[in-house]
Structure 1
Amino acid sequence: MEEVLKIIPEIQEYILSDGKMFVLSTDFHEFFWTLVIMIGLVTGTSVTFARILYRNMKERSRLLNMSPQMVQVQKIFFRAICIQTSMPILILILPISYLAISMFSGYFNQAANNLCFIITAFHGLLSTAIMITAHSPKIANYQELKNICEVYFKLIIQNLVPFFESEIRFDDAQKKLLSDSFLVPFELLDGAFRSADFELYQIPNGDFVDVNKLDTFYQDSEENSANRISDDVTKVLGPYWKLNQKILWKHLKEVNLDLSEFLFLVSVVFWDFGILNLTEECASFCHEMRSKVFQELPEYENNTQKSKDQCLRIGELILALQTLQKALGIMFECRDIAMVYNLHGRECPLLK
């Protein structure tokens, strides 16, 4: 205690009457260099992460031949990531700078010390708030949805489809037939699964489509608003959006799928043995794979006990497949309608 009072005599008025206190160290150099190492690690990882992300995004933009709109979306995402990763440094720089100055100058101010530790304690809360603000989803338009679907399809082909194709023992033509037939049903199912907890349709990047405001969704800022193209397109395609919402989205929301059940449906959708032009051998193999998937479902439902009636739960999942088929029929009807009317490039991006 005498050594502490000798170094910081001003602390005497803050010591309790019994004089008992815990002193971590009387040498501030150890504490200071610990702060320096922490700041170095935080700064280094943040800068490294930002540089690697920028390099990968630039390379993917070149390889995937992205549209200018998609590049703009990536720039917005990169800007948000930079803000998020720089926040720990910006939030902690003030208290750490003050502590460094006070340690080397010998200046003591208990109120300033308390303020520094309060700011440090709020670091997690502030970082979370900034992350939510920087990555806040927005209402998308048809151009953004088109670009997102383009990238999303490529990601599915690169990452998900090979998982299933690794089981296929047939030629590339049969593999391509299965994968091509899988993309649109998967996106419909995945979109409905993503949107089950929302009133709006959530697209893969986290933004939303408001089905009740499709005239805004189909607007193009570069077009003359007097053309009323968005209103005409909404009249043609609006009913199909709402039908899809009532049939597939609503059903998945009621069924309340968990992730394993969703993946079960995905597997069943991929191993579709009723696709045209499948060879008899390939169709038989798909039927066999579907049977294996169905055999595992009762055991899973029994273990999770999500529903008191296991048979009823399995029936709900089978019904989800039927509603997916109905939604797919709506999509193809939407495609046929788009061929009749001039929708000015606002056709459904899933069926291009």
Structure 2
Amino acid sequence: MDNVCRIDINLIMDTLMKTFTSLSSPMQNDQHRCLISNFLGPFIVVDQCFKSVDSEFTILADENYVDTRDLHEHFQSSNRADSKVAETSLFLAPYWKQRRNIMGRTFKELKMDISEFLVFCALIYWDFGLHEQSDECIEICLQKRSRILKELKFYYEKSLRSENDASLRIGEIMLALQMVQKSMKMMEEYKTISIIYDLCAKHCPLFQMSEGKL
């Protein structure tokens, strides 16, 4: 499980993250790390949801999949006792199912195309008000978000019937961003439960990334 997560992180860092950082205005390395650490968890969640819209499984970045109805295989490895795998599945299955229900339903209702999804990811990346984020970085993020929303409005005005339709669609996208934040709170609970009960997921590389350890 941890190796699968690590592969996903490496894929994201080698592709999408290089694109975002290349588009960034000059900023300190610690601010790049701040944005990346904040982005990675939400992106993994929304990427899985986007890929899994038409699937009964949760599709991962490397095209592996997770069956949320039976998590035993996901948590298994050669050095884990079956009892610990069963315990982990019992405790963490509700989080996987709830996230799929909340975010999965949101993405099914939105039916984003790939252009919308990339814009959605950009809005997540250029976040502001983050811990240890500098004023300069906040200003850059606000400028980027403003530009993204203007381009999104222009895109919708060309492809949708009316200006009202464009405004409504942007509102739906922004509301979905709030659902991402709710999903991340669930991930924090997931992490806490994993540590408290010494579950298989406690060493997930994604948790280390969120703590700035990768």
TM-score, normalised via structure 2 length = 0.87
**Structure 2 regions of 5+ residues with no counterpart?**
209-214
- Paired with 1:321 and 1:276, the residues of 2 have a C-alpha distance of 19
2:94 is aligned with what amino acid? P
DSSP-derived class of the 2:14 partner: helix
Q: Say whether residues 1:234 and 2:95 are aligned partners.
A: no
> 1:156-195 CA distances to partner (integer Å, 9 max, x unpaired)?
2233223222322111111111112111111111111111
DSSP-derived class of the 1:196 partner: coil
How many residues are matched? Answer: 206
- The alpha-carbon deviation at position 265 of structure 1 amounts to 0.7
- Preserved contact between residue 233 and residue 346 of structure 1 (Cα < 8 Å): no
Q: Say whether residues 1:208 and 2:70 are aligned partners.
A: no
- Paired with 1:344 and 1:290, the residues of 2 have a C-alpha distance of 38
Match of 1:337 in 2: 193
- The alpha-carbon deviation at position 224 of structure 1 amounts to 5.3
Match of 1:36 in 2: none
Matches within 5 A, 1:14-33: none
Give 1:324's match in structure 2, choosing from 168, 174, 180.
180
DSSP-derived class of the 2:190 partner: helix
DSSP-derived class of the 1:153 partner: helix
1:186 is aligned with what amino acid? F
Q: Which protein shows a greater Rg?
A: 1
- Preserved contact between residue 218 and residue 346 of structure 1 (Cα < 8 Å): no
- The alpha-carbon deviation at position 350 of structure 1 amounts to 2.5
1:173 is aligned with what amino acid? D
Q: Say whether residues 1:278 and 2:153 are aligned partners.
A: no
Change (3 A) 1:340 1:177: same
1:218 is aligned with what amino acid? F
After TM superposition, the structure 1 stretch with the greater mean CA deviation from structure 2, 303-312 or 184-193, is 303-312
Match of 1:310 in 2: 166
Matches within 5 A, 1:48-63: none
- Preserved contact between residue 41 and residue 206 of structure 2 (Cα < 8 Å): yes
- The alpha-carbon deviation at position 220 of structure 1 amounts to 3.9
- Preserved contact between residue 35 and residue 125 of structure 2 (Cα < 8 Å): yes
Match of 2:3 in 1: 147
- Preserved contact between residue 184 and residue 350 of structure 1 (Cα < 8 Å): yes
Give 2:31's match in structure 1, choosing from 174, 186, 190.
174
Aligned residues: CA RMSD? 2.1
Change (3 A) 1:301 1:247: same
- Preserved contact between residue 174 and residue 282 of structure 1 (Cα < 8 Å): yes
Match of 2:44 in 1: 187
Match of 2:212 in 1: none
> 1:242-285 CA distances to partner (integer Å, 9 max, x unpaired)?
11011111111111110000011111011011211111111111
- Paired with 1:306 and 1:197, the residues of 2 have a C-alpha distance of 27
Change (3 A) 1:168 1:329: same
Match of 1:57 in 2: none
TM-score, normalised via structure 1 length = 0.55
Change (3 A) 1:169 1:240: same
